[in-house]
Amino acid sequence: MTEKFFEDLPAGDKHLREERLSGEDIYGGIFLNMKRDTVSLPNGEQAIREYLTHPGAVAIVALLEDGRVLLERQYRYPIAKACIEIPAGKLDPKEDHLVCAKRELEEETGYTAKKWSLIRRIHPVISYSTEFIDIYLAEDLVPGKSHLDEEEFLDVFAAPLEQLIGWVEAGEITDVKTTISTYWLDRYRRGLVKPTLIL
């Protein structure tokens, strides 16, 4: 059997949509909230959907003058592992996304950037969270002093793109924002994609 092409699918998403009928808050945390909604399915039946609401976040692909990528290594408690990641952080209430990216880069690494571009928005856990991450490209970096939060401990270092790709392929890097950014940067270096210049 041959599968259809995307162009052969029905127009729109009405035949797939789920509509919220009612809902309740299950848990409220520092910045994550868990909800349980009753929804109407496309066939008229009902189902329960549980999900986390998240304020959103930013991540930064910061390129040094020598072409290396600025990285962090920090311990991630939920998976009990020190992970290699690009700089990132969650949005404060009503915070402009680019302002957040600039703040997080400087707080965590000490660097500021003279040139900023938007790479894209990703949704890292679409099955159970509203979280999105806007990924930025930061260039023309200027070193400075970091200002970590009291509960924040991390190593800052830099690595060439080839090493990042190797870590992703070997399973050393499993973080989704860093994995996507690594492959995007590889395509960018080959002239296959372009970010949207902001500043």
The dihedral through the CA atoms of 191, 126, 75, 33 has a sign that is positive
Is there a catalytic annotation at residue 150? yes
The dihedral through the CA atoms of 37, 176, 150, 146 has a sign that is negative
Coil, strand, or helix at residue 165? helix
Q: How many CA atoms, within 13 angstroms, populate the side-chain half-sphere of residue 7?
A: 0
Distance CA 72, CA 61 (A): 11
The HSE-up count of residue 139 (CA atoms within 13 Å, CB side) is: 14
User: Any idea which residue has 């500021």 for tokens?
Assistant: 112
Contacts of 85 (CB under 8 A, 6+ apart): 71, 72, 73, 74, 173, 175, 177, 178
Q: Which of 19, 24, 150, 162 is catalytic?
A: 150
**Measured CA distances, 143 to 9, 36, 47, 55, 148 (Å):** 51, 45, 52, 29, 15
| Residues annotated as part of the active site | 150
